[in-house]
Amino acid sequence: MLQTISKPTELVLPDTERLSLAQTLDCGQSFRWTFQNDGTWIGVVGKRVLWVKEEKGKLLAGCLSRAETDGEMEPFLREYFDLDTDYQKIQRLCGSNPVLKEAAAFAGGIHILRQEPWEALCTFILSQNNNIKRITGLVERLCENFGEPILTIDGRKYFSFPTAEVLASQTEEGLAPVRCGFRAKYVLDAAKKVSSGKIDLDALREIPTQEAMDILMGIKGVGPKVAQCALLFGMHKLDCLPRDVWIGRAMDRLFPEGFPQEVLPIAGVAQQYLFHYVRCYPEILEDEK
């Protein structure tokens, strides 16, 4: 177990919460967590470097970068891992369709992380036309070059995610160390619009999803998929349904008319279940012989 400045926080996880760290942290919604040989995950959230682990029905967690009391860590963990959302209810809604019922049974440990809105927006701008490994590398280089150093563990340095204000002061040439190519101009446009207040990300939480999408798509290079990812993973708008290649194929093959009406309010969670399911069992997308 990693050494924590203060004693680890323990949260009992009832069966109704069914959080799976492996499914949640490795499903393409966040790119700042790495799995360790001892079964823990290490990640950066804000200015915290955290380790988390599941053990006998509990979520164990500790902050490596600063002392935290249970009174600070417990509400933070419940918020970040979305432990107070009724995922059992979501899975019952998915049960109205046989395919989604199977997907929810297989991947029902996925929770939608409550990430910081700017980080989610910037990350998914970088994600365009990329796989998870490359996205992770881009995010790491962005943080190394423009974030603030937090902690070094066994020679590895951990950095905060750079603010919109810091990135807005850069140029495309300045972003060259990130090696993000054509995405650099999109990151800069987003940073300038957010840092100037032209786009208020916190305010997007309170308005209808389509209106929020339209505002985000006013950023260069932000189309429906990136806008919906930012809203789903950064602002917890669970009705968003981002379509990447896998989900596009799955929807075309399995749901040509779209998800059932009762699933639409939680389409983003259903999409994550389906994504993980078809990624592990791609044969369900093959045409019947």
Whether 96 is in a domain gets the answer: no
Same domain, 130 and 231: yes
Whether 165 is in a domain gets the answer: yes
Whether 112 is in a domain gets the answer: no
Final residue before a domain boundary, out of 84, 100, 131: 84
Whether 111 is in a domain gets the answer: no
**Domain total in the chain:** 3
Same domain, 190 and 209: yes
Same domain, 147 and 185: yes
Whether 101 is in a domain gets the answer: no
Final residue before a domain boundary, out of 84, 107, 138: 84
pLDDT digits (tens, 9 = 90+) for 156-176: 999 999 999 999 999 999 999
pLDDT digits (tens, 9 = 90+) for 252-284: 999 999 999 999 999 999 999 999 999 888 888
Same domain, 73 and 22: yes
Whether 214 is in a domain gets the answer: yes
Range in 55-69, 80-94, 266-280 with the lowest mean pLDDT: 55-69
Same domain, 250 and 220: no
DSSP string, the chain: ----SSPPEEEE--TTT---HHHHHTSSS-SSEEE-TTS-EEEEETTEEEEEEEETTEEEEEESSS---HHHHHHHHHHHTTTTS-HHHHHHHHTTSHHHHHHHHHHTT-------HHHHHHHHHHTTT--HHHHHHHHHHHHHHHS-EEEEETTEEEEPPPPHHHHHT--TTTTGGG--TTHHHHHHHHHHHHHTTSS-HHHHTTS-HHHHHHHHTTSTT--HHHHHHHHHHHH--TT-----HHHHHHHHHH-TT-S-GGGGGGHHHHHHHHHHHHHH-GGGGSPP-
Same domain, 62 and 121: no
Whether 184 is in a domain gets the answer: yes
How far is 253 from 257, CA to CA, in rounded Å?
Answer: 10
Range in 65-74, 140-149, 178-187, 202-211 with the lowest mean pLDDT: 65-74
Same domain, 42 and 136: no
Same domain, 25 and 122: no
Same domain, 15 and 37: yes
Same domain, 50 and 138: no
Same domain, 209 and 258: no
Q: What is the pLDDT of residue 152?
A: 93
| Residues known to be catalytic | 225
How far is 287 from 258, CA to CA, in rounded Å?
Answer: 19
Whether 108 is in a domain gets the answer: no
Q: What is the pLDDT of residue 154?
A: 86
Mean pLDDT over 14-20 rounds to: 72
Split at pLDDT 50, 70, 90, the class of 204 is very high
Same domain, 209 and 281: no
For residue 16, is pLDDT > 60? no
Structural domain containing residue 177:
117-235
Split at pLDDT 50, 70, 90, the class of 289 is very low
CATH number of the domain residue 187 falls in = 1.10.340.30
CATH number of the domain residue 78 falls in = 3.30.310.40
178-183 long-range Cβ contacts below 8 angstroms, 24+ apart: 178/138, 178/141, 178/142, 178/145, 179/138, 179/141, 180/126, 180/138, 180/142, 182/221, 183/125, 183/126, 183/128, 183/138, 183/221
